[in-house]
Structure formats: structure tokens, C-alpha cells
Structure 1
């Protein structure tokens, strides 16, 4: 039911026809979580999208009185240019703890689906077309008309929150899955994604309380 609620909230609040929140997992041992200092990591080779995404979430955390640092600020450029070992990442976690971090928020694309859709919707059965030639004429564009089909891509993304608290196990707190369908504007899509993540974390009490302008002003929805 919560997933359905968030999907509805996504469309009402953001008007985000390109975003769909599919599922999430929350650590059953954690009801609420108030981070003190967060490292925000966007794993993408698109530097512009990464900066915009990380800075958007940084601003959201800072508005709630939480210290936040982007990976673009904290990690050297060379860190992402080559593969890391488990020992490298353990050393990074130790460094984060020594510098007062207790949380990592990691977002990445975990898969891409290429889709093909008809540009025109047809009924499954039309009683007016009962002859071969009528049926053939209606659908013959499939052979030679490139406009008969529409190709698009769905990007499956995952955002995860990890605790690296020095006195507690380094564990997963929350993980959510969001699909981004054929984004036309990187700026708009990133902004919508950031707002959706913040709304969900707020609902799950995993981010310090703060005002969220969802764009919905109906008292029945607030």
C-alpha cells in the first residue's frame, strides 16, 4: 500500500510522468533515523547530472540542519576513474567515520531496458475488419514506416542509505527503486528525482523533518 501511496504522491506532487517509484526495503529494526553528516554519492559518468543530483540532495539535507557533502567535493577525481577493491572502500569508510560522517546515500543506474511501442493504439478486435486485405492495409505501415513504432528506454535506478556509525554495525537502512522513462531533460528529471527521494525519506522518517513544497495544496492530500 505504501508503494501505491508514493506513486500517487509522485504524480500529484511532481507531475513526473517520467518517474515511477516501484518498491523499497527498510531495515525492520529501524523506525526513525536522524543522520548528522551525510556523504551523497551519484554513480554516473554524466558529470553534469551527477553534480546537479548531489547538490540538490545536499541542499535538501542542509535545509533540515544536517551536514552534507557531495562525492564531487569529498572524493578526488581519480577515485572514480579506476576500479576499487574492498580494502579501498573499507579505508574510505574509516576515513568518513574519522571525519564525523555517519551516513552514505548512494544512487546508481542498475539496468536499462530498450522498449518499442506502437505510436497508435489499436483495438484487439475490430468487427469492421473481417477480410485479409482490410487487415493488411490497416497494419502495412509496420513494414516500411519508421513512425509506426516509437522506441524509448527505461532506466532502472536504486538509491540506498547506509549507516557507518562508529558504535553500530555498518548496515543498510533503506533502499528504493525508481524507474526513469526516456528523460527528455536532464535538468528536469534530476530535480524531480531529488524531490521524490526527499519526499519518500521524509515519509519513512529517515531524514530530519522539514518543509517540503510538493506543489499539492489540497487539505485532503496534505
Structure 2
């Protein structure tokens, strides 16, 4: 992705989701696919936190259904027993065939891929958008840094990824779209999930994937 495209994504994301814990930082789409509407999509969250996995899948599937997508959570195929050990390619082929038999033609996979600790100088952040006319104003406004005990803010950014795969009888789980989303350490898990889902569904709709166009767009 070139710099201009990346900048555009960040600006649009900030404008639409200014007060949010999630930010779309990268967005890739298979160049051979203009539009993809699945008959039935499986929603899968890969995490060892069972409660949050179920909550995320439930909320995402419900959001997609509200927008006309036949979305189903992963419980039927990815039980606790299934995820307790690594699976072979042969086992995944069996799983894929079972999904095809059950009418699925797409799977939407979300996961946390890494985490990064961040540190901000709070005083510097407060003055970031200010322009000082001279040194005296700059110094007087910032001199509290010398005496304030707590001017460092620490937080964690989680790097997440969601990918949309086609489950096709003639192809091997072909990737259609992938988005990288940064999540600022949330104080409220439900809000973080809500923000992530809102950003994800917006990105899918913008790329003409899964979510049918509204009547006004036809």
C-alpha cells in the first residue's frame, strides 16, 4: 500500500470514528474481485478468551445480519475441543467440506496478532496542536514538565487483523480481503468490541464485500 492510500485511510477513519478505540491502518483487497456477496458467512474470532470470543462473534454476526448478511457464529465448527490442539491440513480440509455441505461459502476470521506498549508525554500532547509565537510563550506553557511527577502516560496498542476468505469447492480458501486494525488498550471491553465491529463493517461495505448496497446506492 502506498503512502497516499495509507494516509487517506487514516484520515477517513479518524473523521468517521474520531472517538473510538479502533483505527484502520491497512486495507488490502484481492484485485481480481470487485464485489463479493456471500450466501452464508461463518464469523470466527481466534482467541483463548472464550467469553470475549463468544461476545465478539455474537455482536459481529448480529451487526452483519442487520445489514442483510447471512452470518453465523463459529460454535458449530470451532468448539472448545476442536481448538485444544493444532489441526493438520487434512483436518482443515474435512472442516471446510463440512462447511460447504452446510451452505457456507465464506469465513470472516479476526484475531489479535501482536501488542505494543506506548508511552506519551502528556504535557507535550496537550501542547501538540498549539503554535507559540516566541520562545517565552513556549517555555512558560511547558515548564511544568520540570516539576510534575506524573507527566508520562503508558498504554498498550493491540494490532488486530480480520480476513475474509472464500470457501470455494474449486479453490483453497482464497483470500478476498484483509484489514489491519489497531486497538488502543480499552477500559471497556464491550465498547472496544463495538468500535471494532463498526469500523470493520464500514470497511467491508466500502469495498463492496458481504454487505449488500442500500437501495439509494443501486
**TM-superposed deviation, 1:50:** 1.4
1:207-218 alignment runs, 5 A limit: 207-209=210-212
**How far apart in 1 are the matches of 2:153 and 2:6?**
29
**How far apart in 1 are the matches of 2:165 and 2:102?**
16
Cα distance, 1:30–1:140 mapped onto 2, change above 3 Å:
same
Asked whether the 8 Å contact 1:10–1:16 carries over to 2, the reply is no
Report what 2:188 is aligned to.
Answer: 185
**How far apart in 1 are the matches of 2:50 and 2:80?**
11
Report what 2:139 is aligned to.
Answer: none
Q: Which runs of 4+ in 1 moved over 4 A?
A: 1-6
Gaps of 5+ in 1: 129-135, 212-222
1:47-196 alignment runs, 5 A limit: 47-121=50-124, 127=135, 139=146, 145=149, 147-196=150-199
2:31 aligned residue (28, 36, 56): 28
Cα distance, 1:75–1:121 mapped onto 2, change above 3 Å:
same
Report what 1:46 is aligned to.
Answer: 49
Report what 1:132 is aligned to.
Answer: none
**TM-superposed deviation, 1:56:** 1.7
- TM-score, reference length from structure 1: 0.78
How many residue pairs get aligned? The number is 202
- TM-score, reference length from structure 2: 0.80
Gaps of 5+ in 2: 129-133, 137-142
**How far apart in 1 are the matches of 2:9 and 2:156?**
22
Asked whether the 8 Å contact 2:22–2:181 carries over to 1, the reply is yes
